[in-house]
């Protein structure tokens, strides 16, 4: 065999091995899924392993305490699917990440609340001037806090807004290190025990700043794993529908509520009320113009404009519709 032929043979073998390796990698049914601590029916699927059984995929569940951490993990390629609030989703889109929102985990409604600590002399949003406020940066609560302060005539720079994850907020609250927080459960339940609610996400949404939690996916990964995506959507929709049809049965003694508490880290006694603060959408509602059919893209655009005004993002995309898809919802109907 001549040198040229040996070289060609080696190159051919190398290419074959590369292609075989790529095919093997693609054939591997594995995904890393980032979830947070929101109190939602989806947690039951995580605890019981129902999704793995339904899809045959090995799912590595990774818990994060903020949407900013989730989008960083997705940007690095360590995570293919992740739960994010509308503000982190807008941030990811504004940064040009190759991601799409494909499911609305929940309409936040009253599930996030701005609370002032008892003894802080804060009785209204206007009283937050000069106070210390704990909030996870780049989260939905951060976005609404900035809007609420501005709407109340308070310059956000006149308050000390501290970047804290929910567990850190709960600890700082107990120590008396912060005067107020805008947060969700399970931390919300803890701070409300010694605090006064100033406003909910639902109250602020009425002024034109709706927020929601979504599930976002790497666009390229989703294109290669469509069957999994449809199965995922069907499973979440079914669990949400099960909850909505049987709310009275989701008690502290039920297996479902115990699963939600286990995965979210919430106290089981707080779960039924916390679930009731959210609104969960059906497949038909998900695909409607209000949500994945147009409303989500508009919300991401509006959120990005506000975040740019506040110096939280540097660019606003010309089109946010490419960061939203209803493909898997429609396929699951």
**Of 176, 205, 234, which residue constitutes the final position of a domain?**
205
218: which strand partners?
99
Same domain, residue pair 264 and 293: yes
| pLDDT by 10s per residue, the chain, length 333 | 444 444 334 434 444 443 444 344 445 899 999 999 999 999 999 999 999 999 999 999 999 989 999 999 999 999 999 999 999 999 999 999 999 999 999 999 899 999 999 999 999 999 999 999 999 998 999 999 999 999 999 999 999 999 999 999 999 999 999 999 999 999 999 999 999 999 999 999 988 888 999 999 999 999 999 999 999 999 999 999 999 999 999 999 999 999 999 999 999 999 999 999 999 999 999 999 999 999 999 999 999 998 898 888 999 999 999 999 999 999 998
Same domain, residue pair 192 and 256: no
Domain containing residue 239: CATH number: 3.40.190.10
Same domain, residue pair 103 and 251: yes
User: How far lies 48's CA from each of 35, 41, 186, 263, in Å?
Assistant: 15, 12, 21, 10
- Closest among 147, 90, 72, 103 to 314, alpha carbons compared: 90
Residue holding tokens 């794993």? 225
**Of 182, 205, 228, which residue constitutes the final position of a domain?**
205
**Of 159, 187, 205, which residue constitutes the final position of a domain?**
205
Tell me, yes or no, whether 235 lies in a domain: yes
Residue holding tokens 């000390």? 160
Extract the tokens encoding 208. 């034109």
Same domain, residue pair 256 and 117: no
Torsion of the alpha carbons at 307, 308, 313 and 314, rounded to the nearest 10: 180
Write out pLDDT tens, residues 103-149: 999 999 899 999 999 999 999 999 999 999 999 998 999 999 999 99
Domains identified in the chain, total number: 2
Residue numbers of the domain that contains 224:
30-108+211-332
Same domain, residue pair 101 and 183: no
Tell me, yes or no, whether 241 lies in a domain: yes
Question: d(Cα 272, Cα 18) in Å, to the nearest integer?
Answer: 52
Same domain, residue pair 98 and 117: no
Q: Over the range 134-145, which residues count as b (16 or more CB within 10 Å of their CB) and which as e?
A: bbbbbbbbbbbb
Q: What is the 3-state secondary structure (H, E, C) of 256-292?
A: HHHHHHHHHCCCHHHHHHHHHHCECCCHHHHHCCCCC
182: which strand partners?
114
Same domain, residue pair 200 and 224: no
Backbone angle region of 88, left / alpha / beta, with phi > 0 → left and psi within -120 to 50 → alpha: alpha
């Amino acid at each position: 065999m001549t040198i040229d032929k040996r070289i060609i043979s080696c190159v051919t073998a190398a290419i074959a091995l590369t292609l075989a390796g790529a095919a093997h990698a693609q054939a591997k049914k594995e995904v890393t899924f980032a979830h947070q601590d929101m109190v939602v029916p989806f947690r039951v699927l995580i605890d019981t392993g129902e999704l793995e059984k339904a899809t045959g995929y090995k799912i590595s569940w990774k818990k994060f305490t903020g949407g900013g951490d989730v989008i960083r993990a997705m940007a690095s390629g360590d995570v293919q699917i992740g739960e994010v609030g509308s503000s982190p989703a807008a941030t990811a889109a504004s940064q040009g990440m190759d991601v799409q929102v494909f499911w609305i985990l929940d309409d936040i409604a009253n599930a996030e609340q701005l609370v002032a600590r008892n003894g802080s002399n804060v009785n209204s949003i206007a009283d937050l001037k000069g106070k210390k406020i704990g909030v996870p940066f780049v989260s939905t609560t951060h976005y609404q806090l900035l809007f609420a302060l501005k709407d109340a005539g308070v310059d956000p720079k006149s308050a000390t807004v501290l970047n804290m994850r929910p567990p850190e907020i709960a600890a700082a609250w107990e120590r008396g290190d912060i005067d107020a927080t805008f947060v969700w459960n399970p931390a919300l339940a803890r701070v409300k025990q010694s605090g006064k609610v100033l406003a909910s996400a639902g109250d602020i949404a009425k002024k034109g700043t709706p927020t929601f939690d979504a599930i976002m996916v790497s666009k390229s990964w989703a294109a290669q794993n469509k069957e999994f995506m449809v199965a995922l959507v069907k499973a979440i929709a079914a669990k949400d529908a099960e909850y909505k049809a049987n709310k009275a049965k989701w008690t502290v003694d039920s297996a479902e509520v115990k699963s939600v508490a286990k995965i979210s880290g919430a106290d089981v006694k707080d779960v039924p009320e916390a679930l009731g603060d959210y609104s969960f959408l059906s497949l038909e509602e998900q695909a409607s113009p209000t949500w994945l059919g147009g409303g989500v893209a508009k919300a991401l655009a509006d959120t990005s404009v506000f975040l740019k005004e506040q110096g939280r993002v540097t660019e606003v995309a010309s089109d946010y519709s490419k960061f939203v898809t209803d493909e898997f919802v429609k396929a699951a109907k």
